[in-house]
Structure 1
């Protein structure tokens, strides 16, 4: 959906235009929602700079940006008519509503009814502005996706199947600009963090002379889960640029007093989440030595994919009931990760979970199945387990491909922060967690110390930067993102070994009570303060930045549940 409140702009008659003739469900399906007028005015005032400027609003809906542009052109002495204002809208009734609304504002625009992705880009516009449709990849399918991907490829940007609609829209919209033109869009904050947007970020940094981002502390659209960012890219085909201009606003009323600063991404396509960090936190990060990335310690990989966990993961009680022999079962970390929130997962803990009825074994006959296993396989076929995608593409369908037991288990969906848990039980794991396989020479130190050492302000902040926020306020960490997680280096842990070992009982107790911040504070004193000599003000900056990013994520999740 285009990011906005599902209702008319402030001051608009609810009986006029889209709200009367375009049902809410239909608007949502194609991503058509309204944009607050103050946001439109801010973007348009930045984009239009001369009386002869020509502006395009693709996916214009009821012309919120075109109305603001008409006012701006009138102020500049231009023509608020079809010669200078153009729009594209795929919904005919909305296009009609747009013309009506413009007429009521004593203006006009040439509005074409079409799918924007079907239009060949004509580089004739001084400014392209708007609030692109926001349709998640799950609903962005078929010919609509094919057309969008083809449009982005014109600019050399290849988008994965995970890309939401706004990504291709952003690239395609830029191609309608004349050299030196300006692109002003309201985009989801996904622009900053998701992997699939790397090509979009690279495109913007390469093709524009300057890239400005306006970030908001508060949600711009109450009741809508997505955070937004204003993209103001200037000087098309006059790039590249090596930095972004960042402006932080509290809310819409604070837009014109937003304070700007310069931020340099590590590479053009690199995630821009670090741009959210204040200067004090960035300085603190730069001051820290003795840290490395998690991939230095080992390889992070996905767990086993069964195709149906309920069928393949069994409790001891179910195993006894089905009389399955031990050699057709594999010790398993049960689905989920709640039991991996401590420092170690032991054999005793694994047995306790089994006694509680948790699924602690994987059904996996290694050769010819026994008679009880054959009966269980037949029962699975009777209910269609063999037709599940992951099952039907393997032979035999009931033999799950093995992933060896990992040294450490890494939680990847987290309400608080990712946890590294030593796999002392040496059990296999499903794809509800990741496995970290430590490199030769790192195994003992990693198993003994990395789970506790990773609970520090630097790593907690790093998780918010390299991970991504999902619905409900959850933080997700894919293996490639986990590779970039900042963690203490081996030499630092060896130097602090005795202190960290002595600290583990207190840290474990803090984790049992659910206080990750208390656990991290204990580790900070050992690693960051005593061994690395980090100044108190820098430690405070790290903790404050982590609290801010964590708070943004949680607030977004709370908004989604409203």
Structure 2
């Protein structure tokens, strides 16, 4: 358990020891209370044990010279819970505390669930809740299984570019085609065999050294180089026999990026290659394979999904948005029925969206998909869609700001 996680756990213990029935609690807390996984126990404690919980959020820094964002927590009626919901108040800074206006109330689906959604304005919260509580949107888990990729123990040794393969004289029986390490190449809608070939020609590692049975003479020589460099001493290598035979995962139907500066991307694996643990693989349920492989990466570029990514993911170093498989499972995605209903329209916009993504214009790509999926397909008003976009931009800006602030502290 991290020091911060231990601090949150200690908070619940001390509060339970010193509060009396009917008691009140008032604290200034880091804004991370709203979103970090290790504060789930605190959120659950507050929602279950108090009759009423209020949060005051600030749009400006409250303490001069302090970079940490804070919230004001007010709870009353200890041991008279559960609260059921909490009220959110917005203030510019501490000078407005005497004249607070209720922004909205919010009810978490589960007591310990992240409170990030409470930051959204009332209009966005209403639209988001309406979409995600309706079968038009489902969790990604409803489409199939999301899993980790191949763990080599030493990517620098095991992943090879075509040029290095040629220089080493390795044979096809020594190698397996892979999506290169990282996810920069997975920002479009598909990964195709021609695209993989181009990546390899540019020096990307598109092969995994993984002899299936007996290595070629060149393969044995490369194994000797690895042992001379001590590669076999890495933990993942020394616990397998032989150390150079990396455990595989089968090629996924789709890839989903899990470290993101903007938002997670879903990409169709047209090249039918395996993936490393720098991305996750999505294995579609049999009934979803055809429509999912073709159109899910496109349909997922909508304002509900990109907002949902900010809510279910976690902020990581430098403001990156990280999505582990369990979090990806909860990502709100248009359901199979929704995608099927707008399939023809999605096919018509594919080229336009792909061109936007190629230029790095995520906002423009999402706007095009919104017109088809949200406005045209589900009848959401343009104003409601605009509120969803604004809410996502606010959450993303807060994430990036926290990342910049933590970088300054380092």
For this structure pair, what is the TM-score category when the shorter chain's length is used for normalisation?
over 0.9
Structure 2 residue 294 is the aligned partner of structure 1 residue 453: no
In 1, are the aligned partners of 2:12 and 2:41 still within 8 Å (CA)?
no
Number of residues paired by the alignment? 403
Match of 2:11 in 1: 170
Distance in 2 (alpha carbons) for counterparts of 1:398 and 1:224: 50
Post-superposition Cα deviations, 1:426-484, rounded to whole Å, max 9, x if no partner, equal: 11111111111100111110111111111111111111111111221111111111111
In structure 1, what is the equivalent of residue 314 of structure 2? 468
Contact 2:263 2:306 (8 Å CA) reproduced: yes
Root mean square deviation, CA, Å: 2.0
**1:335 corresponds to which residue?**
181
| Distance in 2 (alpha carbons) for counterparts of 1:514 and 1:225 | 31
Matches of 2:291 and 2:407, distance apart in 1: 42
1:259 is matched with which residue? 101
Farther off after superposition, 422-431 or 205-214:
205-214
Please say if 1:531 is aligned against 2:390.
no
Range 307-316 or range 235-244, more displaced: 235-244
Is 1:308 the equivalent of 2:154? yes
| Distance in 1, Cα, partners of 2:339 & 2:64 | 45
Alignment equivalent of 1:282, drawn from 114, 125, 132: 125
Bigger mean CA deviation after superposition, 207-216 or 361-370 = 207-216
CA shift, 1:210, in A, is 2.5
| Cα drift, residue 420 of structure 1 | 0.4
Q: What is the CA distance between 1:203 and its match in structure 2?
A: 2.1
Which residue number in structure 2 is paired with residue 150 of structure 1? none
Relative to structure 1, the CA distance from residue 387 to residue 189 in structure 2 (aligned partners, 3 Å threshold; closer, same or farther) is: farther
- Secondary structure of the residue that 1:337 maps to in structure 2? coil
How far residue 546 of structure 1 moved from its aligned partner, in angstroms, is: 1.2
Aligned position for 1:4: none
Alpha carbons of 1:296 and 1:223: their partners in 2 closer, same or farther (altered >3 Å)?
farther
Offset of residue 394 of structure 1: 2.0
Cα gap change, 1:188 to 1:431, in 2 (>3 Å): farther
Alignment of 1:258-407 (within 5 A): 258-260=100-102, 261-288=104-131, 289=134, 290-407=136-253
The residue number in structure 2 matching 1:514 is 360
Matched, 1:204 2:46: yes
SS at match of 2:384: helix
1:507-555 Cα shifts (integer Å, max 9, x gaps):
0111111111100111111111111111122112111111111121122
Tell me, in whole angstroms, the C-alpha distance in 2 between the residues paired with 1:444 and 1:240: 45
Aligned to 1:484: 330
Report if the CA contact (8 A) 1:179-1:235 is conserved: no
Shift of 1:372: 1.9
Deviations 1:334-361 (A, max 9, x none): 1110000000011011011111111111
SS of equivalent to 2:293: helix
State the Cα distance separating 1:208 from its structure 2 match.
2.4
Give the TM-score normalised by the residue count of structure 1.
Answer: 0.68
- Post-superposition shift, 1:226? 4.7
Cα distance in 2 for partners of 1:223, 1:302 equals: 41
Please name the residue that 1:231 is paired with: 73
Q: Distance in 1 between matches of 2:403 and 2:65?
A: 10
SS in 2 for 1:458: helix
CA shift digits 1:193-239 (9 cap, x unpaired): 23333233222222223222222333446776653333333333332
Q: Contact 1:331–1:427 (CA<8 Å) still a contact in 2?
A: yes
Q: Summarize deviations over 1:383-413 as a string: whole Å, max 9, x none.
A: 2211212222222222211111111100111
Q: How far apart, CA to CA, are the structure 2 residues paired with 1:226 and 1:346?
A: 44
Q: Does 1:429 align with 2:271?
A: no
Per the normalisation by structure 2, the TM-score is: 0.93
Q: Which has the higher contact order (CA 8 A, sep 6+)?
A: 2
CA–CA distance in structure 2, aligned partners of residues 307 and 184 of structure 1:
48
Q: Distance in 2 between matches of 1:466 and 1:222?
A: 31
* Bigger radius of gyration among the two: 1
Distance in structure 2 (CA, Å) of the matches to 1:553 and 1:446: 30
Distance apart, 1:492 and its partner CA: 1.5
- Alpha-carbon distance in 2 for matches of 1:219, 1:474: 22
Give the equivalent residue in structure 2 for 1:496: 342
Following superposition of structure 1 onto structure 2, how do residues 135-214 of structure 1 map, counting pairs within 5 Å? Answer: 137=2, 140=3, 164-180=5-21, 181-214=23-56
